[in-house]
Chain A
């Protein structure tokens, strides 16, 4: 069966510090991968999605970037965090060629102080 891992679970970082969040998927090949952010009490904002190694589409211009160095690994990064980057970050995968239902990792709660 497929599983998705995401870490760390919580993170407190000062403004201006770098960020690296990692997501890995097991039990499937060539998944579509997604990074979302959810502000408190709000919906999911799509940040990046990837349909293959090295292929990244950005949805929202901001100080975040994403990379997919391996088929089942997706990394979200920032060189300098802003206060507005605080939120709940969710990684998700869907089967390529499938109906499109997404399966989410447990999330990382980021607080920028």
Chain B
């Protein structure tokens, strides 16, 4: 079967660092994506990993371990505007289907 697991909710403090984990079991792998979704809005693309290791993009970094079926999104210097849901998604081999996790709701408090 295909499955993507993420924590349902997390809370962190403004200025801190938070790590959102994602584990996946899918039929084939052709890339892992992270998206941000503010309440009531559409998701926006944050990051892409296809090889093992860390990809850094400003305050956001994403890590992938294909052998472990594991990824994390690291958010540094948290701001109130980072309060949102973060969706982990895996693209299957064949390239057209992407499976989305249910998302992690992050609450950033002052």
A residues with CB within 8 A of B: 32, 36, 42-44, 46, 49, 51, 57, 59, 90, 99-107
Contacts and interface: CB of A to CB of B under 8 A. Distances in A.
A104 B37 CA distance: 11
B24 interface: no
Contact of B45 (A32, A43, A102, A105): A102
Contact of A107 (B33, B42, B100, B103): B42
Nearest to A107: B42
Given A43-B103, A49-B96, A51-B96, A101 B44 contact: no
A100 B33 contact: yes
Contact of B42 (A49, A100, A104): A104
A104 B33 contact: no
B100 to A, nearest CB: 4
A21 to B, nearest CB: 14
Residue from the set A32, A90, A100 with the largest chain B CB neighbour count within 10 Å = A100
Interface string B81-110: 000000101010001111111110000000
Interface residues of B, number: 22
A99 B50 contact: yes
B97 A49 contact: yes
B100 A101 contact: no
Interface string B22-55: 0000000011010000000111110010100000
B97 A43 contact: no
Nearest to A103: B45
Contacts of A107: 41-42
Contacts of B100: 36, 43-44, 46
A73 to B, nearest CB: 18
Contacts of A102: 33, 43, 45, 98
A108 B27 CA distance: 30
A57 B92 CA distance: 15
B29 to A, nearest CB: 12
B48 A43 contact: no
